[in-house]
Amino acid sequence: MEVFAHLFGHASSQPAPGLLPAIERAVNGVEPLLKQTGGYPGDYRAPIQSALKYAHALAARLSGPVEINRASYAGDPLVHALFPSLESVTDALGNSLALQNHLREFPADGEVYALMGMRRIEKAVAGMRLTGEVVQHDVMQNMVYFTSHTIESTAASEAEARELVAMSFFDRLIGKVGQRIAQRKQEKQALLQEKDTLMARLHTADEGSRPALQEQLARLMSDLQSAIGALELDRYQDDFVAVLLEPAQHLHLEQTEIRLDSMGIRRDDANEHSGKTIVFDDLIGYDRRNWTVTMVHCSDLQYEEFSSRLERAYRTLTV
């Protein structure tokens, strides 16, 4: 019976908890006028439910939480790889606006769970390598390091933080829907501009060039009519379906294994015994850059006034 109910759209008339607010959230993020169309909210249930389920599954897959503090920098190879120095750990926590806002709002917590994202960079450097008992100099090696540490989705518990991350992923998928529509609007605008140009050329064209321009204008007007039709509100639901029923095509995690020594040098040679293999989670599709991400747990934190943070940043720049 469930199969037939699914086929004919008569599954339980009661939506899953949180589904209707999620539909409203998504539609408001793309085009609020969609709420006035006949297919709202029913036509959006399947794609929104798919996106919600996927976003929560993706958030649950994130590694961590990793302890981020001075002790873990010394004892955890992952933390040591993520930060170039002990001072950079303090700077990343102190400079995070999201983290400081959380501590200001909940000063009694002192600890925070969050998502941390970084840009992973790899470059060739000249260094030393020990081969047997021989030290080789000026050997080209690949150094892996991380920049642009960003902390988001802060919460007092891991479960709350992952829920915030899931909704952030959901919003990003909805943003992909909006991007498809925005692209069509840009295409329509380009056609309108091209039409104005052709009309101006026709206005001054001689008898010899006029037929070709008229034919070109006719083709353009056909394209413009199609572009206008593609922006009818009842076509937007197709964009929700295209993105949200195939969410992994637009946002996903990839795991990358890298063997690193304590200096951040890749040790891919099977004969090299130094280094540890670390698995990094890379978030693909969140924006134009790929982010290495992990859930983190920060403890023994205190809110720092903006003036103090500014002074500390100034001291860092002048050293």
> 3-state class of 139 per DSSP?
strand
Q: By mean pLDDT, which of 15-19, 40-44, 68-72, 310-314 is the weakest?
A: 310-314
DSSP 275: S
Contacts of 168 (CB under 8 A, 6+ apart): 115, 152, 153
Q: How many CB atoms lie within 10 A of CB 130?
A: 11
All structural domains of the chain with their residue ranges: 61-166+249-318
In the chain, the percentage of residues whose pLDDT exceeds 70 is 82
> In angstroms, rounded to a whole number, what is the distance separating the alpha carbons of residues 172 and 26?
10
- Check: pTM over 0.85? Answer yes or no: no
Indicate the helix (H) or strand (E) that contains 173: helix 158-204
Are the CB atoms for 113 and 121 separated by under 8 Å? no
For the chain, how many helices (H) and strands (E)?
11, 6
- pLDDT value of position 1: 42
Q: What is the CA radius of gyration of the chain?
A: 27
Q: By mean pLDDT, which of 38-52, 54-68, 194-208 is the weakest?
A: 194-208
Tens-digit pLDDT profile for residues 85-95:
888 888 888 88
> In angstroms, rounded to a whole number, what is the distance separating the alpha carbons of residues 23 and 263?
48
> In angstroms, rounded to a whole number, what is the distance separating the alpha carbons of residues 95 and 85?
15
Are the CB atoms for 22 and 53 separated by under 8 Å? no
| Mean pLDDT to the nearest integer, 251-273 | 79
